[in-house]
Structure 1
Amino acid sequence: MARPQQPQFQNSHQELSLYSHITSSRQPQILRIISGITGMLPDTSLHHTLVFKPKRPKQLGPGGGTELYYVHLVSRIDETQEAEGKCYDVRKQKWTMTLEDIPEPTRKPVTSRSVLSSDISEGDAVAFMESLGYTFQAAYFTKSERLVHNNVIIKLTQILIPSNPPAPDNTVTPSADEMLGNPFPVSALTPLDPAKSWILKASVRVQSNQDVENLNVGANELKGFKELMKGMCDLEVAERLALDTRVR
């Protein structure tokens, strides 16, 4: 088996972040508080995420060779398409290809990791990933509320799945495209978590992980926002292995 080709990424940055678990009942209040802090209304969006896994060459074995990482395709869904009666064609969407590294094993007051990305605005992104030697693994949707405070990007996110996700049974085998997911009707999407909880992520982007000055500035901005939210939610460093994107 040939080694999968490494995708060519156009953009890279270092992401500093803090996270908090928000219950369903607290989410509206937290959103209002952050809206007041930022002085802006949230940008509400729905995204489609496809997860791809590189095929591991047989000669490498489970633990040999270079580290391999999962790659995500992410697309913002145009919900007006449903209102206009248009069908959702997963292969005609505009996607952003992303690779998020495992966070650095440091004792910094924030989570720090490298993020690579590249826009795929034309052609069939799924076929492109397959041509690189990647196989489709999973699909899900996310509803996000995004706000900005100075350089801090704040996102409240909830993972959604179709109410009746396609799954093989004794009589019906879903097509490959059905397995990629369809967000329509949006009203049929349901939270993956039965408790309908949300994740609050506050992040700062720094151009390079070698830019120590701006890394420190970004970390301090996150600590400042953490203090603003104190008593309302606890923004903390994420468990490193919970954000591990390496293929095992």
Structure 2
Amino acid sequence: MPHELLLFAQLPNSRLEQLLNIVAGIAGAQPQRVIERHVVYRPQRDPLQRQYAVGASQNVQTTQRATSREQLSKDMFYWQTVKELDDADFGPAASKEHAPKEKANPDAERKGWAIQFQDIPEAGQRPVTTRWVQTTDVVAGDPHAHMKATMYNYVSEYVDEGFQFVHKNATILLHRILRFPNPEQSRDSPLESLPPFKDLEPLDKSGAYVVQVSIKIQDNYKPETREKAQAELLALKGTLKGVIDLEPAERLALDTRVKARPG
């Protein structure tokens, strides 16, 4: 099963350009711009009561689907559908609202979605955060319709934006969460069209970023695999010492479990 080892740090907006330049020197490459849309879902009821609708998961990769069902029988978790975006996916600015628009391709709009699960991190005092992760490509169909058919309800959505580097086996991500306008407005499904990017608001009003350094491993149960990945993360932590302080996260800060409703 794939696992992820991570370290984190906070970064004030005023230091973003400085750290981008430093990490570019370490990685030997310029950062890649990253914009992702995240749609959050929760199960409708307790796992033992929930059943899959007939045909609901036929458009999700089979090997990962079986693992998903096994996990669902244990706890209730928030899940997400995720899609990479670029600037063209957002609505036009006010000055361009009346300009002619190209007709959208419905099939193109559905490309690139994946279903993402992140477990609560392992317990105990550890030098790095470790958690089970799973990303399942949606090979066809509407991801929201799939989640509804598998008895999951829409909760909210947000945009994760930032800059990404790859250094050896590690992914270095400087990112922040952006909220859509009118977050208090009640909805039961994702937005059909996105607002202009400039209308999104940072969840952290200061505009600060989170630095996340991660390595994914396929076999968490081989000690040598975990130890090698952990050593690489700690070496990178040492390289960046004095620039940022990379540390494991508080376990409950990354808790993705849903509290069961009483009754």
Give the shorter-chain TM-score range.
0.7 to 0.9
What's the CA shift for 1:193?
Answer: 1.1
Contact kept, 8 Å, 2:47 with 2:75, in 1: the verdict is no
Q: 2:246 aligns with which of 232, 235, 238?
A: 235
Q: Which residue of 1 aligns with 2:234?
A: 223
Change (3 A) 1:114 1:59: closer
Higher strand share: 1
Q: Which residue of 2 aligns with 1:149?
A: 167
Which amino acid is the alignment partner of residue 187 of structure 1? K
Higher helix share: 2
Contact kept, 8 Å, 2:31 with 2:164, in 1: the verdict is yes
Counterpart Cα distance in 2 of 1:181 and 1:49: 14
> What is the aligned length?
226
Q: Which residue of 1 aligns with 2:120?
A: 102
Contact kept, 8 Å, 1:91 with 1:125, in 2: the verdict is no
Counterpart Cα distance in 1 of 2:2 and 2:201: 32
Partner-residue secondary structure (3-state), 1:219 = helix
Partner-residue secondary structure (3-state), 1:215 = helix
What's the CA shift for 1:130?
Answer: 0.5
Contact kept, 8 Å, 1:50 with 1:180, in 2: the verdict is no
Q: Which runs of 5+ in 2 are unaligned?
A: 50-72, 93-99
Counterpart Cα distance in 2 of 1:85 and 1:232: 46
Deviations 1:127-163 (A, max 9, x none): 1000000001110001121101111110011111234
Over aligned residues, Cα RMSD in angstroms? 2.5
The 4+ residue runs of structure 1 with deviation greater than 2 A are 57-60, 78-94, 162-166, 179-184
Whether 1:245 aligns to 2:263 is no
TM-score by length of structure 2 reads: 0.78
Q: Which residue of 1 aligns with 2:20?
A: 31
Q: Which residue of 1 aligns with 2:206?
A: 195
Q: Which residue of 2 aligns with 1:135?
A: 153
What's the CA shift for 1:121?
Answer: 3.3
Counterpart Cα distance in 1 of 2:249 and 2:177: 18
Q: Which residue of 2 aligns with 1:68?
A: 76
Counterpart Cα distance in 2 of 1:66 and 1:58: 7
Change (3 A) 1:207 1:186: same
Q: 1:160 aligns with which of 154, 174, 178?
A: 178
- Percent identity between matched residues is 32
Change (3 A) 1:221 1:54: same
Change (3 A) 1:124 1:166: farther
Counterpart Cα distance in 1 of 2:222 and 2:87: 39
Q: Which runs of 5+ in 1 are unaligned?
A: 1-11, 169-173
Q: Which residue of 2 aligns with 1:78?
A: 86
What's the CA shift for 1:214?
Answer: 1.2
Change (3 A) 1:58 1:40: closer
TM-score by length of structure 1 reads: 0.83
- Name whichever of 111-120 and 89-98 sits farther off: 89-98
Whether 1:44 aligns to 2:62 is no
